[in-house]
């Protein structure tokens, strides 16, 4: 193995940070939630959301806010935003989500509301402690002749099981599906009540609007308070893991002290410390570590790839870091990037894949074999 000041620093930090942890944590950790860039979430959308947005005069390809689009016009309230769910680690690469939706309708200003309660339960695949794609939250509600309407959605997402339908460490549904609907919105709450969470996060979204044009869209956990206080892009940035700031990734190699295609699990644990999670992903395994790195091991136990999570604050040997704009990446990569197209979702140089969001900023780095 190669030695360097950077490697020595990393080893010292992890020795101090993980000395009390001999094994991966036995209990699961609840997910962290944050808003996700709107245009990035809209990639690949079939167009149904755009059609609803057009009803209230919105062009989703030119949003006024980078994180959420909303409007209330002609008795219709519309909103759409995307949420990242990440840094959730346990004994499996999937999570459950259940939702209790309460709809209240006031026929007159001074009357009592009519109330309807429905329930939904779904399962999501994860990768490196995060949903494989951002979770869409979209609504388009009309007044339907009423004086006022209110919709409250109470969410709970995390690790758990639905006995007899969704259990065990392996993804219990079709391998080619990222999401499986266990129960679409309905009056029966039996499935909702059967969900047994071991670690979860709760949050609430409330939308309300009236015939006089007054409206509100609020979610304290995600920092939404519309229209009073639109969110800023900074609110969607992940909190950087301090353990990651000293890490440097070399294309085709990985962090100091490791080599993709050669290092084995024991080598990686020695350098990166005790894992946060070790889960199957098809024939391979994904093992996540502090410092915002997840390592994929091939069937033979050899390190296959190393990829960053949103909390990674390090860089590549050339200086490429998460959040960096395309133009700056081109400068860092030099001649290797001269023919890259700005419309491409990712750029590849030998041993390194650089992924971008719809805003043209780096969202993930993947070190692979050359």
pLDDT digits (tens, 9 = 90+) for 360-369: 999 999 999 9
pLDDT > 80? residue 108: yes
* Domain co-membership, 199 together with 305: no
If asked whether residues 18 and 37 sit together in one domain, one would say no
Distance CA 169, CA 295 (A): 18
* Residue 315 domain boundaries: 5-26+240-367
338 and 232 within one domain: no
Give the H or E element holding residue 352: strand 352-356
**Mean pLDDT on 153-179:** 95
Residue-level pLDDT at 22: 29
Residues 290-296, mean pLDDT to the nearest whole number: 97
End-to-end CA distance of the chain: 18
The two beta strands, 114-127 and 94-106, are antiparallel
Neighbour tally for 201: CB within 10 Å = 19
**SS3 assignment for 94-154:** EEEEEEEEEEEEECCCCCCCEEEEEEEEEEEEEECCEECCCEEEEEEEECCCCCEEEEEEE
* C-alpha to C-alpha distance for 65 and 38, rounded to whole angstroms: 8
Task: Answer for the pair 52, 79: CB distance below 8 angstroms, yes or no.
Answer: no
Structural domains counted in the chain? 2
Average pLDDT, the chain: 91
- Burial string for 297-335 (b: 16+ CB within 10 Å, else e) reads beeeebbbbbbbbbbbbbbbebebbbbbebeebbebbee
* Residues 76 and 196 both lie in one domain: yes
pLDDT over 50 (residue 179)? yes
Q: Among the three residues 236, 261, 292, which one is the final residue of a domain in this structure? A: 236
Name the band, by pLDDT with cuts 50, 70 and 90, for residue 10. very low
Shared-domain flag, residues 170 and 263: no
Enclosing H/E stretch for 316: strand 315-316
* pLDDT-derived band at 18, boundaries 50, 70, 90: very low
Give the C-alpha separation, 5 to 53, whole Å. 54
User: 353 and 228 share a domain?
Assistant: no
Q: If pLDDT is split at 50, 70 and 90, which confidence band does 1 have?
A: very low
CATH number of the domain encompassing residue 311: 2.60.460
Residue-wise pLDDT tens digits, 61-70? 999 999 999 9
pLDDT at 21 exceeding the cut of 90: no
Task: Output the pLDDT for position 235.
Answer: 87
CB atoms within 10 A of CB 196: 12
- My answer on whether 88 and 148 are in the same domain is yes
- Does one domain contain both 51 and 194? yes
Q: How confident is the model at residue 4 (pLDDT cuts 50, 70, 90)?
A: very low
């Amino acid at each position: 193995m190669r030695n360097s000041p950077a490697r020595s620093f990393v080893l010292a930090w992890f020795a101090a940070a993980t000395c009390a942890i001999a094994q991966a944590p036995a209990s699961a950790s609840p997910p962290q939630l944050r808003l996700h860039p709107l245009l990035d979430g809209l990639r690949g959308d079939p167009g149904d959301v755009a059609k609803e947005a057009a009803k209230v005069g919105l062009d989703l390809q030119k949003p006024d806010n980078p994180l959420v689009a909303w409007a209330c016009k002609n008795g219709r309230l519309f909103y759409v935003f995307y949420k990242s769910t990440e840094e959730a680690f346990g004994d499996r690469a999937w999570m459950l989500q259940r939702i209790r939706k309460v709809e209240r309708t006031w026929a007159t200003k001074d009357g009592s509301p009519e109330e309807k309660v429905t329930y939904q339960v779904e399962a999501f695949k994860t990768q490196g402690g995060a949903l494989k794609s951002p979770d869409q939250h979209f609504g388009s509600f009309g007044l339907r002749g009423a004086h006022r309407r209110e919709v409250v959605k109470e969410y709970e997402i995390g690790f758990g099981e639905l006995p007899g339908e969704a259990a065990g460490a392996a993804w219990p549904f079709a391998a080619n599906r990222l999401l499986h609907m266990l129960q679409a919105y309905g009056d029966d709450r039996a499935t909702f009540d059967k969900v047994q969470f071991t670690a979860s996060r709760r949050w609430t979204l409330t939308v309300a609007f009236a015939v006089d044009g007054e409206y509100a869209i609020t979610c304290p956990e995600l920092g939404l308070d519309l229209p009073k206080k639109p969110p800023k892009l900074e609110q969607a940035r992940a909190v950087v893991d301090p353990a990651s700031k000293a890490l440097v990734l070399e294309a085709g190699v990985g962090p100091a002290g490791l080599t993709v295609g050669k290092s084995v699990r024991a080598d990686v644990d020695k350098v990166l410390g005790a894992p946060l999670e070790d889960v199957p992903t098809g024939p391979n395994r994904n093992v996540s570590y502090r410092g915002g790195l997840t390592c994929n091991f091939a069937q033979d136990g050899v390190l296959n790839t190393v990829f960053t999570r949103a909390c990674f604050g390090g860089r590549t040997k050339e200086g490429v870091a998460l959040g960096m704009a395309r133009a700056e990446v081109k400068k860092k990569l030099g001649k290797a990037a001269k023919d890259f197209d700005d419309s491409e979702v990712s750029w590849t140089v030998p041993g390194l894949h650089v992924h971008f969001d719809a805003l043209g900023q780096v969202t993930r780095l993947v070190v692979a074999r050359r």
